[in-house]
Structures are given as structure tokens and as C-alpha cells.
Structure 1
Amino acid sequence: MKALSTAANHSLLWFAVAGLLAARRGSSRKAALRGLFSIAVASTSANAVLKPLLPRRRPAASELPAYQKLADPPTSSSFPSGHAASAAAFATAVAMESPKLGLAVAPLAATVAYSRVHVGVHWTSDVVAGAAVGTGVALLSRRWWPVRLTDEARARPLDAVPVLSGGEGLVIVSNQRSGDPEHDPAADLEEAFPRAVVVRAEPDRDLDEQLDAAVEAAGDRVRAIGAAGGDGTVAAAAAVAGRRRLPFVVVPTGTLNHFARDVGVYDLQEAVDATAAGEAVAVDLAVVEVHPGPDSEAVVRTRCFLNTASLGSYPDLVRLREQWQPRWGKWPAFAAALVVVLRRAEPVGVRIEGRWTKVWFLFVGNGPYHPRGMVPAWRPTLDSGLLDVRWLRADVRFSRLRAVAALLLGALDHSRVYGQREVPEFDVQLSVPGMLATDGEVVEEAGHYTFRVAKEPIEVYRRREENWTGRDRPFLP
């Protein structure tokens, strides 16, 4: 008990455990990051705030046997226990991201908390109060850093999609420039879908043009369209599928694969399972109309996007967030990127809802993102028929400082600098033509954009987990 209690001094024990958890990507790394964040807040609350406010003498450790006493007992206030606060904060935070890891960490945290009573430096009530503080801080972290236990979003299941046995009737484009540049996924696609038409993307040719040509060449045999690549590739192919009223197959081979994760297709095998079973869900397709200038004779151009579109400095924010996200996690990376981008950004003059104003950036999500009134983290549904429009105003005094402060306090939705709407259509005019980014790629420059949800959703293959038995997985790459 003496050794364990000493090991937890200054949370060194928890830093070591967090290092082990962070060595593995996914929920384990997110658990480590949330645990360290919770420790920082809980330790500060217990040691720097509550102890000075609530002084209390420690137990008479001199009455304990020599082998049970600490060589250098603390002299600060006994209430509450900082060790218990940090232990409970870390264990609770880990359990929020990964219940299985939480079960493994909880006994260690409970033992550390008890050890403070055993070695005679805390009363039992100190430990209970400290544990309550730590648990409360970890749970409160959800306000800034929402917990998502599953990547798969809800969507209306469809039964009227064709079964693509061996990929028969499928035309799928493969973009080898997405994800790992050393790996061409086309060979895996040809093995997984031996009866499909696999189109290798040509670098100097529009992807939708190549896909359209392949579909025309295949004629009446085409029953579905697919794409293997990142979000930009998937969005371009989905636009073709939507235009031709054909179901869509997504294979995630990009770097982040936001759309595929939202749909619930995590690898090639899941796409094989879904097409073999003929199961799909309805997914909204968002459209942005790019209006020409008043003196131009050009026609209105349309682009489709599956995840997000943005104006202003938001593309820079996303770029920095994605650069830092593998090391820090999504929310900490977003917060850090927001501070950097707001410091460098220039305001953009826009006309929103009939009123001219200045904003730092404008975000448009294909569907409402969660959490509302904070950093957009994920979509709970894929077929809401709504756009999620958010912006940060630049015409308010000290707007950047107020935005960062509101974000840190978890009160962005109550700040004057923040605006949000959930609407089926949204029109934006810019005082000076600005760049539009969709699904992480800068695609247009214009002074007037109209965002809307397409009238008909696209049908995206996704296997229903309750129907899967594991017996229909012929392809294991």
C-alpha cells in the first residue's frame, strides 16, 4: 500500500498507464487522452481550489506502526484527497471511452484511493469526497468532449436494393492516390468483386467523368455504383449514383474516411457482406449551387457533398485538426486548431438571412451534427433532410477572445459570436468571392452559394448487424 500510494504521487502512476493505453489507436488512445484531461482538471480542483477553501487536519499517522507510515507524509489540508480525485477521474474517463478498459483500471484506482486511508494520511470522508470530485470532473468533460461509443449513425433501412453476388452489376472506381500512396486498392477490389467493373482513377481526368464513361460502356448491366477512396472520391462517385438513381457502395481506403465510418462500413469485407446480402440504408445527399457573378453568362453549377462544406477559414481549421488529431484526439486537436486559425484569420463579409455581417468561417453539415451548440463532432442520423449551418461572427467586439473563452467554458451556444440553424436550404452571398471547400477539398471560388438537401436520398449498402451470422464472408483480404 505504501508503494502504491507513493507511485500515485503527482499522478505518475496514471501517466504511465495512459502511456500504455495511448500506444494503441482507437478507443484506447482516446481513453488515455480523456483520462489525462480529467486528471488535470480534477487535481487542480482538489488541490488548488478545495483544499485551501476547506482546511482540515490529517489523521494522527504517528499512531500507526512504522511499516505502515509514509516516510514523508503530506502537510496540506486533508480534505479532499487529491490522490482519490485523480484516480477516480482517470478511471471514470477511461470507462467512458472503453467500458472494458474501465473495468481493468477501476480496481487499481479504488486501491490507490484506499491506500491513502491505509497509510494514515486521509480520513475516509476525504477519500470519498475526492473520488466524487474526480468522477464529476470526468463526467463533466462530456460537455466539451462528447463521447461516441459507436461510429455508426442511424439511417432508414431499405429492402429494395439488388443483391450483387461477386460484385455482378457493380461499377466501382478506385483512387490509388487516397490513403496509402504505396498501395493500390484496385487489386483487392478485383479479388473481392470478381464480376464487377473496376475503374482505376486517372490523375488528369475528372473522376465523375471517368465513372460516367464506365457506366455508359457497361450499359444495362449496371445495377450499382461504388467508390474506393477518401471522402472526396466517395462524394464524387456518390453524386453520379444520385444522378443515375443507382445504389451506392462505399469502400474506405482514404486517410480518415468520415463518411464510411458514419455509414458503418469500416473495411472492404463489410462492403462485400452488404452487397452479397442486398441490404442498404437511405442517406441524404447535400447539394451546393454555385451561382455565377451578375455580369457572367455562365450557368449555375452544382456540386454534391456527403459530409461538410465550408467558407472562410474553416478549411484551414480542418487541415490543422486532421494533422494533429492522430496524436491528440479530435476535440483537443480542434480546440488547438481553432485558436491558431482565429489568430491568423481574416473576416469574411457574408449575407445571411437577408443581413450583411462578417464571420470568421461558416460551416455547413449534411445533417445535424452532435453536439448542438459546440464543436461539430459527429452525425447521429444520416437521413434527417436538414443542413446544420454554424458560423462564428467577426463583427462582435473581442469576438475571437469571446469565442475561445466560450468554447473553454462549454458555453459556445450561449455566446453572441455563435450562430446555428438547422434548415433544408441555406443561401449565402459573399462581399468578395471566396473559396468553398467540400468534404475536405477546396473546389470552387464564387460570391454566391445555395446549399440544400437533395430531394431523393441515395441508397448506400450497409449490412444490418442483427442479420449477420459470420457464414457469408467469402473474402478475407
Structure 2
Amino acid sequence: MPATGTFDTMPRSLPYPLRTLGEGLEDLDRRLFDAVAESPSPLLDLTMRPLSAAADHSKLWMLIGAGLGSSGSLSMRRGAARGLVTLGVTSLVVNQGFKRLYPRTRPLSTGVPLSRLRRQPTSNSFPSGHSASAAAFAIGVGLENRTAGYLLAGLAGAVGLSRVATGAHFPGDVLAGFTLGAGIAVAGARVIPAVEDSRALIAEPSVENLRPDPDGAGLVVVLNPASGDGSGARVADELRDSLPAAEIVELDDDSDIDAIAADAAARADFLGVAGGDGTVAAVARHAIAADKPLAVFPAGTFNHFAKDIDAVNVASSIESFQAGRVARVDVVWLNDETLLLNTASIGAYPDFVRARSRYQRRRIERPTATMHAVLKVLRDSSPVRVRIEGRPVTVSYFFLGNSVYGAPSFLPGRRTRLDDGVLDVRYLEVGHRNATTRLLASWLGGRLRNSTIYRELQAPVVTIESDEPFRVAHDGEAGNLHTRARFRVGYRELRVFGTSVV
């Protein structure tokens, strides 16, 4: 029996050519449905019903996302996060938006083989939510890891086919679902650009394999109990349980961290640090001076450096130490005195971070909070007049990173290498007409690098000067005032334990 199913909201007042075209497309849709759903194929009978059921409520994609998220590949973990977030947004848009706006009855499944039939959904047929979720997840993952994206695209196509073969949807519903899911994934990449893993030719990682005692003999850990709102004390207990032979030196409010770290580095075979980014940077300079490998145990609030060397928690850091894999990573020297591990900024960037945090505390989603914070900073922040490599500029925002951070954007992502030998500099110039509108148009259009407002450069040394003192914030610290700030890469100077450091 031929399938039926129409758009209940198709206007009767449409001009004759458009109405004829719409009726022709509906007829084609029904004929394609009949050709697939009633096809006497043993392969379809065997596979389509289980595949369609597996994709119910996105169970299939959540399971795959969990697998990707637990893999050793950073790009796969990023892909899993992007794919699942995109899937969630797509499900909301499709089920609470388009299915209400464009009601369409489900096809009659009289001719579909019994081996494929499932309980017919009661929601509207247009568009296919299964197909939209499949496309959103596959493309979301593929934006971060191309190989995984190609494989998932094939699986997504099979899920779309299963919705027709089991009699749940017309082919047009599936095609519309694919289009919506893909569109939302691409739009998400405009708001939060995917990380580009290879923007420059980088030498092979410098890696060595040591054989530390699994109980931690020879390891001296400098620990800040007050870091991370007091989580340092919990980290100390975990270290004592897992590395009983290690020595733990706890800091207090009156401790001279430089003196303690220097003493620990002099007598340790392996130096360790437990604290936030500021504490890690203070100890890292002494690990470099003594040429001792550093084990980083995250105990701060954000732990950016620890996350980027794959020390996502204390347990993973302990495993990395016991495995003995050490890699050399870059550091940054400010005026050859202050060590930076992550980022430095002048102008509006510290204001942007604080504003975004305030919006997120109001339970605003991160992309929306980011946009609000950008607009607030562009509207309210005071620009800074400096000379960057001798070129006079007035900047409203200035970011400098140790190694390249993510894709081109004034909202840096995460870095995938910490040993590329360059500083990643991004800044916004003021003094242009309609700057906010032009900047947002370039950003959303994917042409940020062509903007005359946004600038970026990568170099091993960058010097900033000014006639008036300016504050340089770095690694979560407020920093000091300078009239000259010279940033220099310490190329692969720091040896760190990590499983996927570079």
C-alpha cells in the first residue's frame, strides 16, 4: 500500500507553481519511502530495527561519546565533548521547535516487513530527530578529529536509513534532520572554533623514559594546602596513600616558596608540585635550574597547565609518574625573571574572564555568557596605548600564550602542543568605526584573520613597551606594572611527567 503523509500546515493560498512543486516533492517522498521501506532485503530486515532502537534517546551517541572521552587522544576527547553538546542543542531545537512548527503525519507502514516494524512514534514526522542528532554528533566530533568524523558520518547515514526502513519517517524527514543537525554543528564551530592541531611545522617531541620507584622514592613534592579552596590537604592524603616513599613539603602562609623549592630541587631525584598554576610556575623555575623532571599534581581551581599535560586529576598524575614518561615542554620568560607556563594579558582580557564567570554564575550557558562578556568588555573597558615590536597600537584586548592556543579567535581554545617554540599573540585594536559590529561579523563569518581590528602573530620573542606603566597579568596572578615587557620562549626547557604531553 502506498505511504501517506502530508504537511498539515501547507497553505492553500500558495501560488499554483509553488503548490504544484510541493505536491510533486511529497509524491516523490512517498515513492522513495515505498522503495526503501517495502524492499524485500534480508540485510535490512536484520540490521535496521536494532540500529534504529540503539539510536533512541541518543543512547548510541552517548555510548560512543563516552568511549571517545576515555580515549588517550586529546582530539577525540574534544570531539566527544563538542559532539555531545551539539547533539543536546540539536535535540532541543528539533523537538521543541521544528516539530511544533511543521506538523506532518507519520507514514503508513502497512507494507513494511514485520521483522523491521517497531512501535510507531506519536510525535510529528518532520524532521527526523534521530537523523538530526546523528548528523550533529558526527560533524561535531569530525570538527575536532577528522578520521572519527568520517567513520561516524557513515554510521549516521545508516541511522537515517533505518528510520525509513522501519517505517518511522519519510526520506524528506531524514534529509531535513541531517540538514538541521549539520547546520547547528557548523554554527557551533563559528561560536567556539575547533582546535587546529597543526598550524606550523614542529619538530618531533623530546621524550625520555625513566624508571622511578613506584612508591615515590626520590620524589619531593612541594604542596600548597590552601590552593583550590583548601583541596590541597586532600591531595596530600592521596599522595601519601599512593606514593608512601615520597617526601611532601607543605607550605604555609609565611613560607618562602622560592627557598623551599630550591632546597627541594637540590636534594630530590624528581621534583613534584601540588597547587594551582601560580604555585606550579614558582616550582617549575627551580626544576629547570636543577634540570630535574617535574611531576604536577593538580590542586588549584583551574589547573590549566596540568590539564594540558594530561594531568587531569591526582590519580592520572600518579600514573604518569609511575610510568616514567618525561617530555620537554616550553616555558615563557618575562623580562628573563618571571616564569610563565600558560598565558599573559594586558588590557581587557582579565576583565573579560571575570565578566564571563559572573554570567555563568547566573546559570547562563557558556557560549551566551561568552558573547555577553565580549560585548561588555568592548563597551566598558579602557584601552591601553603600547608599542608592540615598535609598532604603536592602542589595544582593548591583548592575549599572549605559551605555544599556539586553538584556532584563530580572540577567545583562545586549548593548546595541543606545548613544545612548538612560539608565543601565540592575539589582540584587538581600537579606533575603528563600527568596531564591534565589524568584529562580530568577521568572527561569525569565519573571516576573523581578514579583520583590520583583530591581529595575531606567532614569534619566539615579543616585546611590548609604553611610556605609561601597564599591568601584565599572568597564570592567574594579577602581575606587576611594567613599562617594558619582553616575553621570550624557553624552548623545551622544562621536563615534565605526562602521558600525552606533546
Confirm or deny a common fold (TM above 0.5). yes
For the 8 Å contact 2:223–2:274, the answer to whether it is kept is yes
Provide the residue aligned with 1:288 in structure 2. 334
Task: Classify 1:391/1:60 alpha carbon distance in 2 versus 1 (closer, same or farther; 3 Å).
Answer: closer
Instruction: Give secondary structure in 2 for the equivalent of 1:454.
Output: strand
1:35 maps to which of 87, 93, 96: 87
Q: Give, as a single letter, the amino acid of the residue that structure 2 aligns with 1:92.
A: A
Task: Classify 1:179/1:389 alpha carbon distance in 2 versus 1 (closer, same or farther; 3 Å).
Answer: same
Provide the residue aligned with 2:48 in structure 1. none
Provide the residue aligned with 2:422 in structure 1. 386
Instruction: Note if 1:396 corresponds to 2:439.
Output: no
Instruction: Note if 1:141 corresponds to 2:197.
Output: no
Provide the residue aligned with 1:473 in structure 2. none
Provide the residue aligned with 1:11 in structure 2. none
Provide the residue aligned with 2:482 in structure 1. 446
Provide the residue aligned with 1:226 in structure 2. 272
Provide the residue aligned with 1:159 in structure 2. 208
The within-5 A match list for 1:129-278 is 129-139=176-186, 141-147=188-194, 156-159=205-208, 161=210, 163-181=212-230, 184=233, 185-215=235-265, 219=266, 221-278=267-324
Task: Classify 1:320/1:208 alpha carbon distance in 2 versus 1 (closer, same or farther; 3 Å).
Answer: farther
Q: 1:197 offset after TM fit, Å?
A: 2.4
Distance in 2 between the 1:201 and 1:272 partners? 21
Q: Give, as a single letter, the amino acid of the residue that structure 1 aligns with 2:191.
A: W
Provide the residue aligned with 1:309 in structure 2. 344
Instruction: Note if 1:92 corresponds to 2:138.
Output: no
Distance in 2 between the 1:417 and 1:399 partners? 7
Structure 2: where are the runs of 5+ without partners?
A: 9-54, 70-76, 111-118, 143-147
Task: Classify 1:43/1:190 alpha carbon distance in 2 versus 1 (closer, same or farther; 3 Å).
Answer: closer
Aligned length: 413
Distance in 1 between the 2:410 and 2:89 partners? 18
Q: 1:186 offset after TM fit, Å?
A: 1.9
For the 8 Å contact 1:320–1:337, the answer to whether it is kept is yes
Distance in 1 between the 2:441 and 2:92 partners? 18
Q: Give, as a single letter, the amino acid of the residue that structure 2 aligns with 1:378.
A: R
Distance in 2 between the 1:344 and 1:139 partners? 31
Provide the residue aligned with 2:463 in structure 1. 427
Q: 1:271 offset after TM fit, Å?
A: 2.6
For the 8 Å contact 2:396–2:430, the answer to whether it is kept is yes
Provide the residue aligned with 2:35 in structure 1. none
Task: Classify 1:269/1:34 alpha carbon distance in 2 versus 1 (closer, same or farther; 3 Å).
Answer: same
Task: Classify 1:59/1:97 alpha carbon distance in 2 versus 1 (closer, same or farther; 3 Å).
Answer: closer
* 1:359-411: CA deviation from partner (whole Å, max 9, x where unpaired): 11110010011113453101121111110000011122222332233223332
Q: 1:324 offset after TM fit, Å?
A: 5.7
Distance in 2 between the 1:369 and 1:69 partners? 48
- Percent sequence identity is 30
Task: Classify 1:82/1:316 alpha carbon distance in 2 versus 1 (closer, same or farther; 3 Å).
Answer: farther
Distance in 1 between the 2:334 and 2:243 partners? 33
What is the CA RMSD across the aligned residues, in angstroms?
A: 4.7
For the 8 Å contact 2:423–2:458, the answer to whether it is kept is yes
Task: Classify 1:257/1:329 alpha carbon distance in 2 versus 1 (closer, same or farther; 3 Å).
Answer: farther
Q: Give, as a single letter, the amino acid of the residue that structure 2 aligns with 1:361.
A: Y
For the 8 Å contact 2:326–2:498, the answer to whether it is kept is yes
* 1:271-291: CA deviation from partner (whole Å, max 9, x where unpaired): 3333333221111011111xx
For the 8 Å contact 1:428–1:449, the answer to whether it is kept is yes
2:497 maps to which of 451, 461, 473: 461
Q: 1:135 offset after TM fit, Å?
A: 2.3
Q: Give, as a single letter, the amino acid of the residue that structure 2 aligns with 1:169.
A: G
Task: Classify 1:204/1:396 alpha carbon distance in 2 versus 1 (closer, same or farther; 3 Å).
Answer: farther
Instruction: Note if 1:83 corresponds to 2:127.
Output: yes
> 424-433 or 178-187, which moves further after superposition?
178-187
* 1:13-67: CA deviation from partner (whole Å, max 9, x where unpaired): x9x979x98xx999777555323545688899989xxx9xxxxx989999x9xxx
For the 8 Å contact 1:38–1:141, the answer to whether it is kept is no
Q: Give, as a single letter, the amino acid of the residue that structure 2 aligns with 1:390.
A: R
Task: Classify 1:156/1:69 alpha carbon distance in 2 versus 1 (closer, same or farther; 3 Å).
Answer: closer
Instruction: Give secondary structure in 2 for the equivalent of 1:92.
Output: helix
Q: Give, as a single letter, the amino acid of the residue that structure 1 aligns with 2:135.
A: T
* 1:110-164: CA deviation from partner (whole Å, max 9, x where unpaired): 4996599858xxx6345424523432442453343245699xx997242265624
Instruction: Give secondary structure in 2 for the equivalent of 1:359.
Output: strand
* 1:403-456: CA deviation from partner (whole Å, max 9, x where unpaired): 233223332222111100010000011343222111122121222211110155
Task: Classify 1:286/1:97 alpha carbon distance in 2 versus 1 (closer, same or farther; 3 Å).
Answer: same
Task: Classify 1:186/1:115 alpha carbon distance in 2 versus 1 (closer, same or farther; 3 Å).
Answer: same
The within-5 A match list for 1:293-372 is 302-321=337-356, 333-372=369-408
Task: Classify 1:60/1:108 alpha carbon distance in 2 versus 1 (closer, same or farther; 3 Å).
Answer: closer
Distance in 1 between the 2:185 and 2:283 partners? 42
Q: Give, as a single letter, the amino acid of the residue that structure 2 aligns with 1:124.
A: P
Task: Classify 1:206/1:408 alpha carbon distance in 2 versus 1 (closer, same or farther; 3 Å).
Answer: farther
TM norm structure 2: 0.68
Task: Classify 1:372/1:163 alpha carbon distance in 2 versus 1 (closer, same or farther; 3 Å).
Answer: same
Distance in 2 between the 1:183 and 1:88 partners? 46
The within-5 A match list for 1:104-119 is 110=160, 114=164
